[in-house]
Structure formats: structure tokens, C-alpha cells
Chain A
């Protein structure tokens, strides 16, 4: 680039002038920053109103599954990919978020609206027909995002607690602690009592209800709020946050920790603080994904389902897509959600295929398909972007 004719033809007065010349006007910068959010929300609105009409109910549900898996894979990528730690308890954070959000939506609905039914409006509607003749905007549309964020925050608190031992642990030990955390969450949830029905809740203090989340039978009766709109808004927020983090100072520190902890520490990167931060951020998004999962159509929230195997599913997405690549994780999440649906007839071989894939991948291409790169960093896309010239 430096010796291309356009830049050398004009003499540069000073570095400052050149910087100003390269800096876009403020409004352009603002639009560039806001564009992903606007596009994401627009896409979510579009899917909310047209996904069912275009693809049908079953495919809309698959799209929602894909969205939730993208959030999980991209968030786990922050810990496993960027920071090089190894968490196998991601489903545990998901369970924490799912039960927190479920608790708020079920019992909170009762306190606010008088019963535990669905109270959402046009944005949360998942049944057909939707559109301008739908129920409009309703209180549930505010309660649900609040519950998702609360689920994320509680999960993030647990992420902080799990991240703390990483002060002393590295690699394999940390993996065991996260696995143990996931199991502890499952065991504790399974010791809780049955869910109270609507007419039994009245008069009970809130702390009495904390252990009424279903136990081994699962948290039944949760209202269905996870519409295409909420799922894809969360996907947009997660992907954008992951991308911004990767490009920020924090992201550079994460990558430094991953490449060599001792070198990073000797260059003044507080490695413990960054590891804990990675855990907290990843746990927050896993909690949000859990909240969406709990209120998805056709799902029954059950702690038994959010065990090792769910965590492994997410790990496989991250490893396959590339440790540290956001677009890789997104593509892997899409492929690995559609594939089991397409191969339902040979489903007993699914986990065997995953396991072989993991082993072969580690031997043949240990950094994953894309490694740390994004899809648009590939030579193929590069060449097209720079108009045939190689950068």
C-alpha cells in the first residue's frame, strides 16, 4: 500500500495532516459505529415478522436454535479462543442464566400481571399470525429483556467466582474446576422442589420460592417469550461485543495471555485480572443464551439437559470454527445446528462423528478451520476487497 502511486504522488505535509486526511468526518464515524446495531435490529424485526411466513414454524425454531448456539459459541470463544483458557462448564453458566430468567418470568409475571401466563406484545409473540394486528406492545416485552439481563448478570457473578481460582490454576486444572462447577449447578438445581401453580404463589415470600424451580422434573410452565426478535437482537449484541472486544486493548491482552502467560506478565499485562474478565464476559452472554433457551418454544427447561454434553457441543463449535475466530464460531454454530437435524436418521453416530472430528482436527489442524482469523481475512476475500491487488 505504501508505495502505491496515489499515496506517493501527493507530498505529505506532516503526520498530523495525514492523520486528519485519513480520519473520516465525525458523522461518518458515527454511522459506521452504529451501522451493525441498526442492521442487527432491522434483521431481527424482519425475521420476527416474516420468518414464519417465509420458512414456516419448524424452520423458524431451527433459526432460533441457531441464534442461541451462535451466542453460546461466540461467548465461549472469548474464554477458550481469545484467552486460551479451557472452560468445559459453559452449560453451567447457561443453566444459571436460564433458571434466573425463568424464575423472574414465572414468579415475576405473577406479581406484576396477576398470573403466570404470556403477557408479551408484538415483539415477543411467537405464534402465528403476527403482524400489525398483533397485541401491540405489552408489559412482558419489558420484563423479558430485564429477565435476560438479570440472568446474564447472575451468571456473570458465577463467572467471577469460577474465574477467581484461575489465579492459581492453569490449563487442565481450570478445566476440571469449570467441569465441577457445571456439575455442582446441576446437582443443586436438581435438589429443588416442584414449581408452584398460579393459585399457590399468592402470599408466599419471594425467598421461599427460590427453591421451587422444578428439581429433576424440570421447570415446567414457563411462558414462551424467545421470539425471533429477541434471539436475533441478542445475537447481534453478542457478535458486536465480541468483535469490539477482540479489537480493543482488552482483546490484545487476552491474546497475549493466550500466546504466552509468562511473556505477557513480564510485559505488564495483569494476567489474572484479564482471565477473570474473560470468564465474566463469557458467562454473561451464556446466561443470556440460557434465558432465551428457557423461554424457547418446544423446550422444557431441565438442568439435566444442561450438563457436560451441552458444554461439549459448544466446545466443538468453537474448536471447529477456529479458536479465536468470531466468524468461524458463527459458521460452526450454524452448521452444527443444522447438521443434526438433517442427519436425524443416523443420530446415534452424531457424537461419534463429533469425537472423531475433534481428534482428527487436533492432529491435522489444531487451530481450528479459521484459526484466529476472521473469514474476511482469508486471501480469497482480501483479493476481492482490494480490487485484485494483493495487500
Chain B
């Protein structure tokens, strides 16, 4: 029972991180109809920017002591940097290809992803060493329920994700810019005829998605402080799983991304915890990636539009 509750707790906390990243994938897909492969790398850079800012401010090593204002500052700066990065990616790499075939945009996205990873691991940038994220949040345990420790970090991750998702939901469904985004997603040409500035709306979408990814990167770095080097395959896999969350929930659908993120978190964490005991050690926790990809293939075969998605018919 304790294992079950502990796994559930981890699943919710990891799942909300996946949901935050998935939102960026789903928003870009909704507006531009392509997979922004580089989004997972923006998330990675969010984590590394957090590390960089913390050390630049001297909040590592000797000067380290956990405090919430510091954490918020670091997160805000990381979000601003990634927002700028998202704007630049869209402006320089994707905008020239706005009306190009989708395959070309996909290849460009892979190019951007490789560029971010490999620039990140240059020795002049972040280097190829793993780093340890300094502690910014106190490792206090708020309560113990049935033998499960509810830590401050988990609570902040879940609460922070919920707040950011709430803000995004409001932005998309209750603001002028959100109305523009939905209009562009529905039909870019008609939207521009109605006076929507399509370029600005697309840029805003990228900036919002990248900022969410940066927040997820910061929260990830506080929960798992051992940061792998930027081009390590863990980051690509995390980005992929977040993308799968977006597809499972129904790509292009913001609430679907949240559902999908939680679902992926549940499958992954329960896969890690229960694979070996239930199969008498034949299957190890390593297989969690396989479960997630199996879920993706299953969803794509049974209901390609995702759990909350609507079916679109390809027109000639």
C-alpha cells in the first residue's frame, strides 16, 4: 500500500511536468500543424539556464541556502531566457518555411533540436560534464500520510504546474491574444483577413510554450538535481514522452495535453515500480519507455485523434 501511494505521488508530480511540456507541443501543433521537435530541447535548456543563473548569482556551494524568493527569481529568469529563445527559433528557422511542405519543416525542427543540444554541450556553454543543481527549495516533508512522505518539492511542482496551466487556460480562452490564437489555429488565411496579425500570434504561441517548458525544466532540476549533459539521450526521451502525452491527450487540444501528461506519468512510474515484482524479475523498470511507446502506438491505431481530440478530415 505504501509503495502504491508513493508511486501515485511520484506519478502525479512527474505527470504534471510532462503536462507542462506537452502544452508547448500541443499549442504549436494547434497553430502551425507541425511537431516542434526542438521543444524538448527548450525544456532541457530551461533546466540548464536555471543551473547557470543559480551559480551566476552565487547561490551554489558556500552561498547556498534554500529560499522560495530565490527559487522564483531563478525560475522567472529561466522562463524569460527560454521565451526569447523560442521567439528566435520561430523567427529564424520556422517563419521562412511557413508555407513549405510539412516534411521540410519537420527536418528543420530536427535540425534546430540538434543545434540546441550540441551548442549546449560546447565547453564554452554548459560543457559535457553532468552538474548538480544547487538546492533552492528546502527538502522539508510537509506531512506523512500512510507512510508516504509528501515533500515540499512535490507540492510545489504540482501546485506550480496547476497555476501555470490555469494562467495558460485563461490566456487562450479568455484574452484577445488567445482568441487570435484560436482563430489562427482554425484557419490562418481567414484569420489574417479578419485583421489578426498571424506572425505576432505565432510568435506569442512559441514564447508561451517555451516559457512553460522552461518552468518545467526548472521544476525538473529541483526534483532531480543531477543534470545530465545537454546532448544526453535522457533529455530527448523526456521531450519525446511529453510529445506522446500531447498526442495521447489529443494534439492541438490544451486540456488533452494535461490529461495525457498525467496518464504518461502514471504509466511510467507504475511501470518502474511494478514491472520487476509482477514479472518475477524478467522485466525490469527499464521497460518503462516501451510501455509509453506502446501506449502511443495503441492510441494512434485505435483513436488517432487522441483522448480528447476531434477527428479532422484531410482535404484535397
A: residues with CB less than 8 A from B are 84, 86, 88, 165, 168-169, 171-173, 175-177, 179-181, 183-184, 187-188, 190-191, 262, 307-308, 312, 315, 319, 348-349, 351-352, 354-359, 362-363, 366
- Bin chain B's interface residue count: 35 or more
Interface residues of B in 247-300 (CB under 8 A from A): 247, 284, 286-287, 289-290, 293, 296-297, 300
Closest to B292 in A: A180
Contact among A176, A187, A349, A359 with B286 in the assembled complex (CB-CB below 8 Å): A187
Indicate whether A351 sits within 8 Å of B97 (C-beta atoms), given known contacts A165-B301, A172-B35, A188-B290. Answer: no
Q: Within 8 Å CB of A191, what residues of B? A: 284, 286-287
Contact among B34, B110, B296, B314 with A177 in the assembled complex (CB-CB below 8 Å): B296
B: residues with CB less than 8 A from A are 34-35, 93, 96-97, 100-108, 110-115, 117-119, 121-123, 231, 233, 236-237, 240, 243-244, 247, 284, 286-287, 289-290, 293, 296-297, 300-301, 304, 314, 316
A362 to B233, CA, bound (A): 25
Contact among B122, B231, B297 with A180 in the assembled complex (CB-CB below 8 Å): B297
| Contact between chains at B115 and A352 (CB < 8 Å) | yes
| Contact between chains at B112 and A359 (CB < 8 Å) | yes
Closest to A183 in B: B289
| Contact between chains at B100 and A180 (CB < 8 Å) | no
| Contact between chains at B287 and A187 (CB < 8 Å) | yes
Could you pull out 12 A-B pairs where Cβ atoms are within 8 angstroms?
A: A165-B301, A171-B102, A172-B102, A177-B293, A177-B300, A180-B240, A183-B289, A349-B122, A351-B114, A352-B114, A356-B111, A363-B96
Indicate whether A183 sits within 8 Å of B112 (C-beta atoms), given known contacts A172-B102, A262-B314, A366-B100. Answer: no
| Contact between chains at B290 and A184 (CB < 8 Å) | yes
Indicate whether A366 sits within 8 Å of B101 (C-beta atoms), given known contacts A176-B243, A177-B296. Answer: yes
| Contact between chains at A362 and B289 (CB < 8 Å) | no
A135 to B113, CA, bound (A): 50
13 new A-B contacts, CB < 8 A, other than A86-B106, A352-B119, are: A84-B103, A179-B240, A187-B287, A191-B286, A312-B114, A319-B107, A355-B111, A355-B115, A356-B111, A362-B97, A362-B104, A362-B105, A362-B107
A176 to B112, CA, bound (A): 17
A88 to B247, CA, bound (A): 18
Tell me how far the C-beta of B194 lies from the nearest C-beta in chain A, rounded to whole angstroms.
28
Closest to B301 in A: A168
Tell me how far the C-beta of B93 lies from the nearest C-beta in chain A, rounded to whole angstroms.
5
| Contact between chains at A172 and B34 (CB < 8 Å) | yes
Contact among B101, B102, B114, B293 with A358 in the assembled complex (CB-CB below 8 Å): B114
Q: Within 8 Å CB of A176, what residues of B? A: 35, 240, 243-244, 247, 296
Closest to A262 in B: B316
Tell me how far the C-beta of A86 lies from the nearest C-beta in chain B, rounded to whole angstroms.
6
A292 to B301, CA, bound (A): 35
Closest to A359 in B: B111
| Contact between chains at B107 and A358 (CB < 8 Å) | yes
Give the total number of A-B pairs whose CB atoms are below 8 A apart.
115
Q: Within 8 Å CB of A172, what residues of B? A: 34-35, 102, 106
Closest to A357 in B: B111
| Contact between chains at B118 and A355 (CB < 8 Å) | yes
A24 to B114, CA, bound (A): 52
The 6 closest A-B pairs by CB, nearest first: A358-B111, A355-B115, A180-B293, A355-B114, A351-B118, A359-B111
A179 to B244, CA, bound (A): 12
Indicate whether A88 sits within 8 Å of B110 (C-beta atoms), given known contacts A171-B102, A348-B123, A363-B96. Answer: yes
Q: Within 8 Å CB of B117, what residues of A? A: 351
Tell me how far the C-beta of A10 lies from the nearest C-beta in chain B, rounded to whole angstroms.
47
A319 to B111, CA, bound (A): 11
| Contact between chains at A180 and B115 (CB < 8 Å) | no
Tell me how far the C-beta of A326 lies from the nearest C-beta in chain B, rounded to whole angstroms.
19
Q: Within 8 Å CB of A359, what residues of B? A: 93, 108, 111-112, 115
| Contact between chains at A315 and B110 (CB < 8 Å) | yes
Q: Within 8 Å CB of A188, what residues of B? A: 290
| Contact between chains at B97 and A363 (CB < 8 Å) | yes
Contact among B108, B122, B244, B301 with A348 in the assembled complex (CB-CB below 8 Å): B122
Q: Within 8 Å CB of A315, what residues of B? A: 107, 110
Q: Within 8 Å CB of B284, what residues of A? A: 191
Q: Within 8 Å CB of A366, what residues of B? A: 100-101, 104
| Contact between chains at B118 and A175 (CB < 8 Å) | no
Tell me how far the C-beta of B313 lies from the nearest C-beta in chain A, rounded to whole angstroms.
11
Tell me how far the C-beta of A303 lies from the nearest C-beta in chain B, rounded to whole angstroms.
12
Contact among A190, A348, A358 with B110 in the assembled complex (CB-CB below 8 Å): A358
Q: Within 8 Å CB of B96, what residues of A? A: 363
| Contact between chains at B106 and A175 (CB < 8 Å) | yes
Q: Quick one: which of B102, B118, B240, B244 has the most chain A CB within 10 A?
A: B118
A359 to B89, CA, bound (A): 11
Indicate whether A308 sits within 8 Å of B102 (C-beta atoms), given known contacts A351-B118, A358-B110. Answer: no
| Contact between chains at B296 and A180 (CB < 8 Å) | yes
| Contact between chains at A307 and B233 (CB < 8 Å) | yes
A58 to B138, CA, bound (A): 56
Tell me how far the C-beta of A292 lies from the nearest C-beta in chain B, rounded to whole angstroms.
25
Tell me how far the C-beta of A262 lies from the nearest C-beta in chain B, rounded to whole angstroms.
5
| Contact between chains at B97 and A184 (CB < 8 Å) | no
Q: Within 8 Å CB of B103, what residues of A? A: 84, 86, 171
Closest to B236 in A: A308
Q: Within 8 Å CB of B293, what residues of A? A: 177, 180-181, 183-184
Q: Within 8 Å CB of B115, what residues of A? A: 352, 355-356, 359
Q: Within 8 Å CB of A363, what residues of B? A: 93, 96-97, 108
